Amino acid sequence: MKEYTHPDLSDVTLSAAMQTLADPARVAILRAVIASDTGEIACNEIPLQLSKATVSHHFESLREAGLIQTRVVGTKCLSSLRREEFEARFPGLLDLVLGEKTGA
Amino acid sequence: MKEYTHPDLSDVTLSAAMQTLADPARVAILRAVIASDTGEIACNEIPLQLSKATVSHHFESLREAGLIQTRVVGTKCLSSLRREEFEARFPGLLDLVLGEKTGA
DNA sequence: TCGAATGTTTGATTTTTGTCGAACAATCTG
DNA sequence: CAGATTGTTCGACAAAAATCAAACATTCGA
Q: What is the pLDDT of residues A25-51, one digit of tens each?
A: 999 999 999 999 999 999 999 989 999
Residue A81's DSSP bridge partners are A68
Any idea of the CA torsion for A47, A87, B96, A60, to the nearest 10 degrees?
-40
Identify the band that residue A103 occupies on the pLDDT scale cut at 50, 70 and 90: low
Class in CATH terms, B9-99:
mainly alpha
pLDDT value of residue A104? 45
pLDDT score for B3 = 83
pLDDT score at B104 = 44
* Distance CA A75 to C1' D27 in A: 5
Buried b (16+ CB within 10 A) or exposed e, A29-39: bbeebeeeeee
Minimal C-alpha gap between A83 and chain B (Å): 17
CA pair distance B40, A91, nearest whole angstrom: 29
Closest partner residue to A14 among B13, B14, B104, by Cβ? B104
Domain ranges of chain A: 9-99
What chain A residue is nearest to B27 in terms of C-alpha separation? A15
**Which residues make Cβ contacts (< 8 Å) with residue B51, sequence separation at least 6?**
none
Rounded to a whole number, what is the distance in Å from the CA of A1 to chain B's nearest CA? 33
Listed residue (A32, A28, A50) closest to A40, CA to CA: A32
pLDDT attached to residue A59: 98
Exposed/middle/buried for A76, CB within 10 Å: 0-12, 13-18, 19+?
middle
What pLDDT, on the 0 to 100 scale, is given for residue B72? 95
- Asked whether residue A1 carries a pLDDT value surpassing 70, the answer given is no
Whether the CB of B104 is less than 7 Å away from nucleic strand C comes out as: no
Q: pLDDT truncated to tens, each residue of chain B (104 aa)?
A: 678 999 999 999 999 999 999 999 999 999 999 999 999 999 999 999 999 999 999 999 999 999 999 999 999 999 999 999 999 999 999 999 999 776 54
d(CA B53, CA A80): 43
